[in-house]
Amino acid sequence: MAGDPYADLGLTRSASEAEIKKAYRKIAKTDHPDLNPDPAATQRFKAASAAYDLLKDPEQRRRFDAGEIDEQGHERPQRRYYRDHAEAAGNPYAQNYGFEGDPDLSDVFSDLFGRRAAGGFGQGFRQEGGREFHMRGQDYRFALEVDFMTAARGGKTRISLPEGGDLEVTIPRGVRDGQTIRLKGKGGAGMGQGGPGDAYLTVSVAPHPDFRREGDDIFLTLPITLDEAVLGAKVAAPTVDGPVNLTIPRGATTGQKLRLRGRGINGGDQQVELKIVMPPKVDGDLAKFMEEWRKSHGYDPRRGMTI
């Protein structure tokens, strides 16, 4: 094998000095060009004698094993790794990697690392002039609990700041649970010419007893009476923006879903699931009517179920 003198002698790296000598003699005996006219034998002999020349000297062998010289005994040039240069400060090829134009973090970035010339291939970092010290103010991070309706409709609330005083916060319409609101410049004061930091509010939306939200759609279970279900009706259904008239179709049933288009959040829909609720007490009239009715109108809603 080219490049491996041990293989040329049919050995591995663990071979002893005596084994190296023995292996070379064995090849010399069979493959010497003066004895064996086969060109392949000549090749084997050449390779083996070159390998033997290298490995017979213990110091040379050590240097080869350590990678300091190659199989021909030449000094190996020191390998250069670009990363050593690329990571270093002042690398002439240093480039931006996306924070310079970042709406939230560009100030934080340039505060920590200075500004690189745009588009890369600049001269590394700009030196800070003089002795004065400039630093952007601290970012504040708060958790803000918002009730369901305020989150759905938007609104205003006040938060108190760690350094005293309070701050009016506008909650955008349709804010989602876990969403962050950024209040630019409402963080701590900067130093020198550094601007103030920002305040970040992570919103958690409290659940509502009746409404449930998925994305921009609102889900509501609407109780209806027995007679509304049988005869159909127009009832007022609550939505996040106030009650809306909803037509219950004749013969409506529990679990039936009606859609109020555009009555969700930011153009989403509200889905109403109907739920028939019995009167608080089944009176004699109702019981009597049902007894008569079922004699001739019995039906089996459980048909097809495997019970």
Burial of residue 118 (CB within 10 Å: 0-12, 13-18, 19+) is: exposed
Which one of the spans 94-102, 166-174, 202-210, 288-296 is the region binding other proteins (CB under 8 A)? 94-102
Q: Which of residues 140-169 bind other proteins (CB under 8 A)?
A: 140-141
Q: Report how far residue 41's alpha carbon sits from residue 28's, in angstroms, rounded to the nearest whole number.
A: 10
Our finding on whether 177 is near other proteins (CB under 8 A) is no
Q: Measured from the CB atom, is 97 or 299 closer to other proteins?
A: 97
Binding mask 180-199 for other proteins (x = CB under 8 A): --------x--x-----x--
Count of positions on this chain that bind other proteins (CB under 8 A) = 28
HSE-CB at 307 with a 13 A cutoff on CA atoms is: 5
Binding residue (CB under 8 A) for other proteins from 18, 89, 278, 307: 89
Q: Taking the complex as a whole, how short is the minimal distance between the CB of residue 258 and other proteins, in angstroms?
A: 27
Q: Which of residues 230-259 bind other proteins (CB under 8 A)?
A: none
Our finding on whether 125 is near other proteins (CB under 8 A) is yes
Q: Report how far residue 289's alpha carbon sits from residue 253's, in angstroms, rounded to the nearest whole number.
A: 20
Residue carrying the six token digits 């103030």: 196
Which one of the spans 130-138, 150-158, 210-218, 265-273 is the region binding other proteins (CB under 8 A)? 130-138
Our finding on whether 127 is near other proteins (CB under 8 A) is yes
Token pair, residue 240, equals 């996040």
- First-to-final CA distance of the chain: 77
Q: Report how far residue 52's alpha carbon sits from residue 9's, in angstroms, rounded to the nearest whole number.
A: 8
Containing 157, the helix (H) or strand (E) segment is: strand 155-160
Which one of the spans 136-144, 152-160, 218-226, 256-264 is the region binding other proteins (CB under 8 A)? 136-144
Q: Which of residues 101-120 bind other proteins (CB under 8 A)?
A: 105, 108-109, 111-114
CB 140 within 8 A of CB 161: yes
Residue carrying the six token digits 């004061």: 189
Q: Taking the complex as a whole, how short is the minimal distance between the CB of residue 194 and other proteins, in angstroms?
A: 10
Check residue 215 and report its DSSP letter: T
Token pair, residue 111, equals 């505060």
Our finding on whether 64 is near other proteins (CB under 8 A) is no
Per DSSP, helices labelled H in 233-298 are 284-297
Our finding on whether 81 is near other proteins (CB under 8 A) is no
Q: Which residues bind other proteins (CB under 8 A)?
A: 89-90, 97-99, 105, 108-109, 111-114, 124-125, 127-128, 133, 135-141, 188, 191, 197, 200
